[in-house]
């Protein structure tokens, strides 16, 4: 990998990784952008100063010290799926700390607490937990996403209503701080660091190891879908009204997960129920949703359930493939349900508006349940009252995202916010939206932002761990 320029930075980094130049890549390294930078969103061009591949927490600490001593910013990268490439700094000249070598795994069969390396991808989290006692934890559906970013920003998935978000499973972390110290953080030790890492991690440190509580895998799961492949805007709006009424039911089982997915091809309402078919049938879901192309599959194999999620239509559009794309999100509480006339306007807007691409989707994703049981100020995660989110996403296969595509998604959000003028709908930090600028910070972290700024000032006053929308230190 070598070919480093002879600079103070490269000498320092070489020393930081014990002289092993195979763990370093620079602009001069062949295939730097393709093999090492690997931007997920090809629409945003970024060239970091270096990409590093440390093998120990001590390597990470020494790399952070090199950056601090040379006034460079640092960002950790695990799966590399940041929508704005924040895992490679989000701006030119940062040092990337790629955690792919942090694959440690163990599980305590007494407490069922698992120790997971900060560079582990979700597919490997699922596999290793399964192989070590048929255990599981809540996380998202994209197997290529890394736990390092996922469990420090939120980590929402089909089991979150039952078990909480991925970060709610985290009981302790090993984290490298801006002063290059390696510390343990939990509710009892370095509790401010622990608070910040659980929701705003990339701005506060690099987690090299997680200790997480786990759950027994569900013995049987029901996977359902209702497809409405044709239909005009009114038919789709009618389907959404039924879905929204269903998910707004405060007595809805926490074993029930659901998504309303709209694409160029039509509507799919799909999800999972973590229990036997007889219990699912007792919910009478089919009578509460549009009567169209119903499919119900019962699986007793947990790995089969998780792999089925990865075949989701929206993931096949977005998934793990690098592309030129743009995405936006909104968080809805139980008080932010869309009135019928707003639903009609929204689906008419989607039907009539020029999109600039055929490759787009909008997902409304049911949340709530156990995720909302946690106090709003217990962790940095800012949406403990969210009942559901929407995420809109559009890809340009033929070049950069243009104004037509951006306008479509921006206008879609505006239809919703105009319909709920006195509601402060936030955004999910996992669907990072650079168009929000620094106002994204309050949209992501809400009432927790002020405390985060105070913690940032205490542990990273020079803003070493930085991306364009990370938390800034409070001003003295």
Third-level CATH fold of 105-217+449-459: 3.30.465
Distances (CA, A) of 351 to 235, 274, 428, 465: 11, 34, 25, 42
Question: Can you name the residues that pair with 20 across neighbouring β-strands?
Answer: none
Per-residue pLDDT of the chain (476 residues; tens, 9 = 90+): 445 555 899 999 999 999 999 999 999 999 999 999 999 999 999 999 999 999 999 999 999 999 999 999 999 999 999 999 999 988 889 999 999 999 999 999 999 999 999 999 999 999 999 999 999 999 999 899 999 999 999 999 999 999 999 999 999 999 999 999 999 999 999 999 999 999 999 999 999 999 999 999 999 999 999 887 667 899 999 999 999 999 999 999 999 999 999 998 889 999 999 999 999 999 988 889 887 777 888 888 888 888 887 776 555 555 568 899 999 999 999 999 999 999 999 999 999 999 999 999 999 999 999 999 999 999 999 999 999 999 999 999 899 999 999 999 999 999 999 999 888 899 999 999 999 988 899 999 999 999 999 999 999 999 999 999 999 999 97
| Residue ranges of the chain assigned to CATH 3.30.465.10 | 105-217+449-459
Residue 162 tokens, joined: 């039952």
Specify the pLDDT at position 327. 95
The CA distance from 233 to 239, in Å, is: 10
Residue 436 tokens, joined: 């929000």
Question: What does residue 382 show for φ and ψ, rounded to 5 degrees?
Answer: -100, 5
Specify the pLDDT at position 1. 44
The CA distance from 394 to 313, in Å, is: 14
The CA distance from 187 to 195, in Å, is: 8
The CA distance from 15 to 20, in Å, is: 8
Specify the pLDDT at position 228. 78
CATH number for the domain formed by residue range(s) 221-443: 3.40.462.20
Specify the pLDDT at position 241. 96
Which of 3.20.20.140, 3.30.43.10, 3.40.50.720, 3.30.70.20 would CATH assign to domain 8-98? 3.30.43.10
| Residue ranges of the chain assigned to CATH 3.30.43.10 | 8-98
Specify the pLDDT at position 292. 72
Specify the pLDDT at position 319. 59
Residue 99 half-sphere exposure, CB side, CA atoms within 13 Å? Answer: 34
Specify the pLDDT at position 5. 57
Residue 340 tokens, joined: 């019928």
| Residue ranges of the chain assigned to CATH 3.40.462.20 | 221-443
Specify the pLDDT at position 322. 87
């Amino acid at each position: 990998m070598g070919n480093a320029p002879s600079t103070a930075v490269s000498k320092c980094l070489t020393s930081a990784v014990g002289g092993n130049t195979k763990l370093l890549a620079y602009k001069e390294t062949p295939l730097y952008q393709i093999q090492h930078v690997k931007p997920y969103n090809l629409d945003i061009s970024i060239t970091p100063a270096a990409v590093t591949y440390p093998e120990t927490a001590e390597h990470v600490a020494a790399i952070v010290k090199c950056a601090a001593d040379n006034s460079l910013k640092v960002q950790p990268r695990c799966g590399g799926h940041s929508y704005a490439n924040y895992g490679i700094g989000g701006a030119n000249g940062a040092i990337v700390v790629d955690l792919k070598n942090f694959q440690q795994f163990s599980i305590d069969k007494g407490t069922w607490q698992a120790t997971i390396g900060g560079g582990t991808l979700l597919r490997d989290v699922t596999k290793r937990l399964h192989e070590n006692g048929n255990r599981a934890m809540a996380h998202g559906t994209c197997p290529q996403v890394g736990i390092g970013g996922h469990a420090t920003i939120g980590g929402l998935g089909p089991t979150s209503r039952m078990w909480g978000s991925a970060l709610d499973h985290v009981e302790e972390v090993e984290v490298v701080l801006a002063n290059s110290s390696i510390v343990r953080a939990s509710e009892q030790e370095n509790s401010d660091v622990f608070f910040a890492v659980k929701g705003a991690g990339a701005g506060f440190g690099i987690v090299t190891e997680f200790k997480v509580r786990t759950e027994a895998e569900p013995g049987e799961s029901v996977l359902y879908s209702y497809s409405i492949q044709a239909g005009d805007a009114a038919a789709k709006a009618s389907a959404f009204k039924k879905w929204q009424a269903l998910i707004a039911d405060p007595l809805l089982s926490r074993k029930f997960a659901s998504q309303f997915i709209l694409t160029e091809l039509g509507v799919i309402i799909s999800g999972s129920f973590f229990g036997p078919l007889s219990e699912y049938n007792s919910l009478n879901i089919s009578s509460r949703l549009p009567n169209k192309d119903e499919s119900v599959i019962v699986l007793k194999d947990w790995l089969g359930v998780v792999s089925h999620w990865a075949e989701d239509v929206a993931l096949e559009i977005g998934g793990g493939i690098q592309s030129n794309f743009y995405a936006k999100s909104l968080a809805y509480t139980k008080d932010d349900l869309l009135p019928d006339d707003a639903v009609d306007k929204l689906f008419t807007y989607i039907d009539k508006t020029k999109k600039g691409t055929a490759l787009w989707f909008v997902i409304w994703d049911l949340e709530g349940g156990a995720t909302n049981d946690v106090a709003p100020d217990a962790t940095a995660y800012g949406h403990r009252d969210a009942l559901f989110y929407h995420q809109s996403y559009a890809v340009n296969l033929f070049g950069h995202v243009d104004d037509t595509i951006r306008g479509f998604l921006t206008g879609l959000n505006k239809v919703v916010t105009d319909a709920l003028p006195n509601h402060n709908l936030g955004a999910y930090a996992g669907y990072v939206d650079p168009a929000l600028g620094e106002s994204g910070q309050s949209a992501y972290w809400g009432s927790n932002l002020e405390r985060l700024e105070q913690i940032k000032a205490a542990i990273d006053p020079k803003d070493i761990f930085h991306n364009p929308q990370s938390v800034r230190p409070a001003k003295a």
